[in-house]
C-alpha cells in the first residue's frame, strides 16, 4: 500500500474538513481507509499530520564511548576505525562502521592525506627567515622581474584512484581490467621557466642531469637569453646541479642575479602549480600519448597554449605565499596545485 506524502496528507485533511468521506479519500489516493482514519485521529490529538516520533534502534555507544573515539582520533589522525574498536574500554559489540559514524558526527571524515616533504627544524627556520626577508617584495617592483625555473618528470601513464562500473562476476572481464605498465611506462623530464611577461621554451632533458649538462644544455642556450635584462632575477631550487661550483661560477661570470631559495620549498615556487596544470591538460587530451615521443609533443603543445594570464596569476600569489610561510612558522603552507583561473590581487596593468 502506498504511503502518503506530507503534501497529500494536507490535501486529505482538507477534504476531511470539507466533509468528504474517508473511503472516498482513500480511493482517490489509493490507500486503505484506515490510513485516512488514523490521519484524522492524529490531527485531532496533536494538531499535526506529521509522523509521531519513533524510538528507533538503541544507540550502540555511550557518551563516554563517543568522547573516547573522538579524542583518540584527534590525537592521532592516522588511526583506523578498527583499531579504535579494539581499544575501546569495557565490554562492547561495536563495528568499524559505528566508529566511522561517530567520527562523522564529530566532523571527522577519512580523506587521502596531502603528501609533503619532511621538514627539519633547520628547514623551518630557513623558510621563515626567507619569508620575512621577502615580505616587503611587491609584484610590481620585485616579483615581476623573477624568472622561476624548475625541472619536472612526467609519466607516460599515470593511474590514480580509478573506478570501473561492472556487474557481478565481471572483475576479470577484459573490458573491466585496468592494464597499467610497470612504473607508468616511463616518462620524460623537461625544464622550463616562467615570468609575468613570458615563458621559456620547454626543454627536453635526457638522461641524468649534471652540473656540466645543466650549464651547457639549459642555462647557456635557454636561460641566459631570458636574463638579458639587467633587472632580471633567476630562481632555481637547491638541487645539486644547481648549486654546484661550476653552475655558481657560470652564473657569476655572466652577472646573473640569483634569488636565494630555501631548501624543501616547492610550495613557494609557482611553477610547481604550472607543472600540475600541464599534466592535467595532457591527461584531458582525447588521444592519450602512446609513447615518449607523443608525450613530449603533447607537453610542448600544451605548454605553449597555457594562457599567459594564468602564469601571471600564479606569480602574483608570491606576496601571499611569503605571508603564509611566516604565519606557519616555516612549516607547510596550504599552497598546492589549484585552479589557475582564480582571480588574484596586485594585478599588473
Backbone φ and ψ of 229, nearest 5°: -65, 135
Tens of pLDDT, residue by residue over 97-111, are 999 999 989 888 888
Name the band, by pLDDT with cuts 50, 70 and 90, for residue 338: very low
Name the band, by pLDDT with cuts 50, 70 and 90, for residue 194: very high
Backbone φ and ψ of 222, nearest 5°: -115, -40
In a domain, 244, yes or no: yes
Calculated CA dihedral for residues 325, 329, 331, 333, nearest 10 degrees: -30
Q: Is pLDDT at 342 greater than 70 in this prediction? A: no
In a domain, 73, yes or no: yes
| pLDDT at residue number 136 | 96
Query: Which of 5-9, 55-59, 183-187, 253-257 is least confident?
Result: 183-187
Tens of pLDDT, residue by residue over 282-335, are 989 988 888 999 999 999 999 999 999 999 999 999 999 999 999 999 999 988
Together in a domain, 40 and 80: no
Distances from the Cα of 165 to the Cαs of 142, 150, 170, in angstroms? Answer: 52, 39, 10
In a domain, 290, yes or no: yes
Tens of pLDDT, residue by residue over 131-161, are 999 999 999 999 999 999 999 999 987 655 5
Grid cell locating 327: 604565519
Q: How far does CA 221 lie from the centroid of its chain?
A: 36
Q: Work out the mean pLDDT of the chain and round it to a whole number.
A: 88
Backbone φ and ψ of 195, nearest 5°: -150, 160
Distances from the Cα of 276 to the Cαs of 118, 177, 239, 336, in angstroms? Answer: 21, 27, 20, 9
Q: Are the beta carbons of 295 and 227 closer than 8 angstroms?
A: no
In a domain, 276, yes or no: yes
| pLDDT at residue number 349 | 30
Domain boundary among 75, 105, 135: 105
Share of the chain above pLDDT 70, in %: 91
Radius of gyration of the chain (CA): 31
C-alpha–C-alpha distance, residues 237 and 222, integer Å: 17
- Closest by CA to 200, choosing from 208, 210, 190, 188, is 190
Grid cell locating 225: 637569453
C-alpha–C-alpha distance, residues 242 and 175, integer Å: 47
| pLDDT at residue number 343 | 37
- Closest by CA to 32, choosing from 74, 62, 2, is 2
In a domain, 177, yes or no: yes
In a domain, 58, yes or no: no
Distances from the Cα of 185 to the Cαs of 128, 238, 241, 289, 342, in angstroms? Answer: 39, 28, 26, 11, 34
Together in a domain, 161 and 30: no
Together in a domain, 162 and 302: yes
Tens of pLDDT, residue by residue over 23-53, are 999 988 888 899 899 888 888 888 888 877 7
Together in a domain, 26 and 92: no
| pLDDT at residue number 265 | 94
Together in a domain, 254 and 134: yes
| pLDDT at residue number 249 | 97
Contacts of residue 202, Cβ cutoff 8 Å, sequence gap at least 6: 190, 191, 192, 299, 300, 303, 304
Together in a domain, 17 and 146: no
Instruction: State the residue range of the domain holding 26.
Output: 6-46
In a domain, 114, yes or no: no
Together in a domain, 85 and 186: no
Together in a domain, 42 and 189: no
In a domain, 111, yes or no: no
In the block, cell 484524522 appears at 40
Together in a domain, 189 and 95: no
Question: Residue 155: which CATH number?
Answer: 3.30.420.10
Q: Are the beta carbons of 196 and 231 closer than 8 angstroms?
A: no
Mean pLDDT computed over 337-343: 42
Together in a domain, 183 and 229: yes
Record the pTM.
Answer: 0.71
Q: How many domains does the chain have?
A: 3
Together in a domain, 80 and 218: no
Domain boundary among 71, 105, 139: 105
Together in a domain, 215 and 246: yes
Tens of pLDDT, residue by residue over 217-229, are 999 999 999 999 8
| pLDDT at residue number 346 | 35
Amino acid at each position: 500500500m502506498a504511503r502518503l506524502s506530507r503534501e497529500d496528507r494536507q490535501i486529505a485533511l482538507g477534504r476531511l474538513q470539507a466533509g468528504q468521506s474517508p473511503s472516498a479519500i482513500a480511493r482517490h489516493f489509493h490507500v486503505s481507509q484506515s490510513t485516512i482514519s488514523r490521519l484524522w485521529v492524529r490531527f485531532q490529538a496533536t494538531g499535526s499530520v506529521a509522523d509521531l516520533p519513533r524510538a528507533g534502534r538503541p544507540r550502540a555507544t555511550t557518551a563516554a564511548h563517543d568522547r573516547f573515539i573522538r579524542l583518540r582520533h584527534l590525537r592521532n589522525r592516522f588511526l583506523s576505525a578498527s583499531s579504535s574498536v579494539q581499544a575501546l574500554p569495557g565490554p562492547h559489540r561495536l563495528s568499524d562502521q559505528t566508529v566511522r559514524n561517530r567520527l562523522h558526527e564529530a566532523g571527522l571524515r577519512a580523506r587521502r592525506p596531502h603528501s609533503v616533504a619532511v621538514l627539519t627544524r633547520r628547514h623551518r627556520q630557513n623558510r621563515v627567515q626567507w619569508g620575512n626577508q621577502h615580505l616587503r617584495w611587491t609584484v610590481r617592483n620585485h616579483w615581476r622581474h623573477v624568472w622561476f625555473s624548475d625541472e619536472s618528470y612526467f609519466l607516460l601513464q599515470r593511474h590514480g584512484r580509478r573506478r570501473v562500473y561492472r556487474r557481478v562476476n565481471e572483475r576479470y572481464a577484459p573490458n573491466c581490467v585496468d592494464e597499467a605498465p610497470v612504473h607508468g611506462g616511463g616518462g620524460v623530464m623537461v625544464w622550463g621557466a616562467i615570468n609575468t611577461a613570458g615563458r621559456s621554451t620547454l626543454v627536453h632533458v635526457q638522461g641524468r642531469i649534471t652540473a656540466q649538462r645543466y650549464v651547457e644544455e639549459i642555462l647557456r642556450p635557454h636561460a641566459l637569453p631570458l636574463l638579458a635584462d639587467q633587472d632580471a632575477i633567476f630562481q632555481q631550487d637547491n638541487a645539486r646541479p644547481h648549486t654546484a661550483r661550476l653552475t655558481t661560477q657560470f652564473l657569476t661570470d655572466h652577472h646573473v642575479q640569483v634569488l636565494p631559495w630555501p631548501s624543501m620549498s616547492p610550495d613557494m615556487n609557482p611553477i610547481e602549480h604550472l607543472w600540475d596544470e600541464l599534466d592535467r591538460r595532457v591527461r584531458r587530451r582525447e588521444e592519450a600519448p602512446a609513447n615518449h615521443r607523443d608525450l613530449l609533443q603533447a607537453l610542448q603543445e600544451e605548454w605553449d597554449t597555457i594562457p599567459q594570464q594564468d602564469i601571471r596569476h600564479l606569480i602574483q600569489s608570491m606576496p601571499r605565499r611569503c605571508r603564509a610561510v611566516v604565519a606557519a612558522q616555516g612549516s607547510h603552507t596550504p599552497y598546492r596545485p589549484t585552479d589557475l583561473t582564480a582571480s588574484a590581487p596586485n594585478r599588473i596593468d
